[in-house]
Amino acid sequence: MIRSEVRILCLLLLLSCLSLLPYPGLFNPKPGPPQPRLHAPQRGIHVLLWHWPFSRSYSLKGDKCLSVYSISHCFLTDDADALPSVDVVVFHHQELSSGASALPLHRSAWQRWVWMSLEPPVNNANLRQLNGVFNWTMSYRRDADIPIPYGKTVPGVHRLSFQTATNRSYFACWLVSKYKPSQARASVYQSLKKDIPIEVFGKWKKNPLPDHMLLPTISNCLFYLAFENSEATDYISEKLWRNAFQSGAVPVVLGPSRATYEAVAPPHSFIHVSDFRSTAELATYLKHVAADRQVYEGYLQWHHTHTIRTLTDWRERLCHICVRYPSLLATKVYQDLEGWVHG
């Protein structure tokens, strides 16, 4: 009898405890309040470029963002004396890592500092010392706070600035200045040249092309080897956007994944090295494409529906900060910049 009463008492106690527990949904905390965004100052956004990339400067006189790029209320300066009053300060990584430039000793509380680089991770040295310094990133990467790709695809008709030859002089061409045998592109080239003729231009072969001759020369090539010097996330440089697309040659690409190229390039506009089990198989396919005019021109059909826009002026890139400004997190800090760059 006593045991039975004890059991009933224990059961009642258990039920009363369960009634005190929070609802199941409360075990999962609700999302916190949205991170604060920045509101553009009424006086406009003032951007200071702390040092020009590679010491090549351009004029910032007048309202460049408005007059050239139709971006209003965005003002650029390279005058270091303006540091105390600007909203954004941009630092190009190469000058910081080499010691050619140093970070300012003082920083206004409201300022946002931007780390900028168009180089792949392998070329961005001494990143660890910059952890915890920058609020935003400015890079070719699509997940950067301020994406500044080398080029982009837009709707329209793609018109070349010159007439391409009907019968092209070269089967495949490659422009390379800094050749390193350890790079993946060097290995692919050495193997591929055994099966197809490749005309090489650039400082490596002591056969440089003046800038005004680059596109007309490549336009005489059926294929252009748009081989990146580093296979890194989203790293697609002028080798594709300018050298290949703006010359009218069909690009053979080596770099990030096919999916990355498909996300940014015109449809059916390139041949990806990774689609083939060997360079011999790739060479066989290139010969097939070259021999069949209909198949070859299929890689150029995008000219009727899309065009390419290259971004080459640092001033345009800086103006783009103002476009992105209202959507950027006010309190963001890259505590592990090195990890992000190599991610």
Q: How close are the terminal C-alpha atoms of the chain, in Å?
A: 69
Of 95, 119, 228, 231, the active-site residue reads: 119
Q: Say whether 5 is catalytic.
A: no
Tokens read off for 246: 């703006």
Amino acid identity at 118:
L
Three-state DSSP string of the chain:
CHHHHHHHHHHHHHHHHHHHCCCHHHHCCCCCCCCCECCCCCCCEEEEECCCHHHCCCCCCCCHHHHHHCCCCEEEECCHHHHHHCCEEEEEHHHHHHCCCCCCCCCCCCCEEEEEECCCHHHCCCCHHHCCCCCEEEECCCCCCEECCCEEEEECCCCCCCCCCCCCCEEEEEECCCCCCCCHHHHHHHHHCCCCCEEEEEHHHCECCCHHHHHHHHCCEEEEEEECCCCCCCCCCHHHHHHHCCCCCEEEEECCCHHHHHHHCCCCCCEEHHHCCCHHHHHHHHHHHHHCHHHHHHCCHHHHCEEEEECCCHHHHHHHHHHHHHHCECCCCCCCHHHHHCC
How far is residue 88's CA from residue 85's CA, in Å, rounded to a whole number? 9
Residue 117: partners with Cβ closer than 8 Å, 6 or more residues away:
92, 93, 94, 124, 138, 139, 341
Enzyme catalytic residues: 119
